[in-house]
Amino acid sequence: MTIAAWPVVDRHRVVHAYKPGEPSAAEGPFRTLRGHAWASSGVRVTRRAGGHLVGQLTVFSSLNVESARLARHGNLDAAVRVARAAATLEAGPEFTRLQRILSDLPGHDAERVVEGVMPEAAPAALAGALKAVARRTERLRAGESILATLAEVIAGRIAEVHEGYVVLVRVTGPATMVPRWMAVAAQRDKVGELLALVMDKLDNASAVVEAVPAIDVDEDAVERAFTPFGRGDVRVRDLTRADERLLAGEPQPLRILVPVLING
């Protein structure tokens, strides 16, 4: 099992990483991040009900949290690189698939997913899509060595729940006690659930500690399997934004090199 932080976030999480302790709904900090290319634009999810538009939300790759943190620490070039990686991820097939699944969820389920909650009636494909985004996120993170030293992450499974704390057990390594209210805020306060603690250093004696939902990114057999044949695999028909731009062009007439007569 490989446990990683939840791969998608809302704008508040990005702003919080940039200006911890300040109101995360403020427009200014996010404008600053975008203005310096320290954050990507995110992906807009349109929610419909009965054929009508009922709302929109913007979903960001969690890499934006890292780029915002880098910007706060003054690593501005790295912030730009990581934000660019976030934009690449958001334009890729994994994110596109997730975007479409979120668009089809009823009510406010899409917002809940971004917060780390899997709705009870969620399609099976949602978990796979989130894992695919999380795996891609981890690969991109691995390519940016500075992220390994920027914040310490303790990710694991909740093994015990007590009145005031939960016990978080890593896949390998010691257990950690986490205040229960933090686990509740991260939507992870039950035995077996996956949680990550992110310790973001402020100075030599202090840090911002954040509890965030986590996900097991290992592929299951179904995710690994891919066949180009048949009608069962939606990946065959999924388009990215780049694909859409390509297909919006004018398809050229079919090319027939050899005259052929087809009988029956």
Tell me, residue by residue from 103 to 142, as one string, x for binding to other proteins by CB under 8 A and - for no binding: x---------------------------------------
The single-letter DSSP state of residue 56 is: E
Q: Give the C-alpha separation, 6 to 216, whole Å.
A: 9
Among 73, 80, 92, 112, binds other proteins (CB under 8 A): 92
The single-letter DSSP state of residue 253 is: P
Q: Give the C-alpha separation, 23 to 31, whole Å.
A: 14
- DSSP for 200-223 reads EEEETTEEEEEEEEEEE----HHH
Among 12, 31, 44, 139, binds other proteins (CB under 8 A): 44
SS3 177: strand
- Minimum CB separation of residue 43 from other proteins in Å reads 7
- Minimum CB separation of residue 260 from other proteins in Å reads 5
H or E element that contains 16: helix 11-18
144 vs 233, beta carbon nearer other proteins: 233
Name the nearest CA neighbour of 190 among 157, 216, 226. Answer: 157
99 vs 187, beta carbon nearer other proteins: 99
- Minimum CB separation of residue 154 from other proteins in Å reads 31
The site for other proteins, by CB under 8 A, has a size of 48
Phi, psi of 206 (to 5 degrees): -145, 160
H or E element that contains 48: strand 43-49
Task: With contacts defined by CB under 8 A, name the span among 16-24, 40-48, 154-162, 177-185 that binds other proteins.
Answer: 40-48
Task: With contacts defined by CB under 8 A, name the span among 61-69, 115-123, 200-208, 223-231 that binds other proteins.
Answer: 223-231
Q: In one letter, which amino acid is 243?
A: D
Task: With contacts defined by CB under 8 A, name the span among 6-14, 41-49, 175-183, 194-202 that binds other proteins.
Answer: 41-49
Write out the residues near other proteins by the rule CB under 8 A. 43-44, 46, 92-93, 95-100, 103, 226-231, 233, 235-244, 246-264
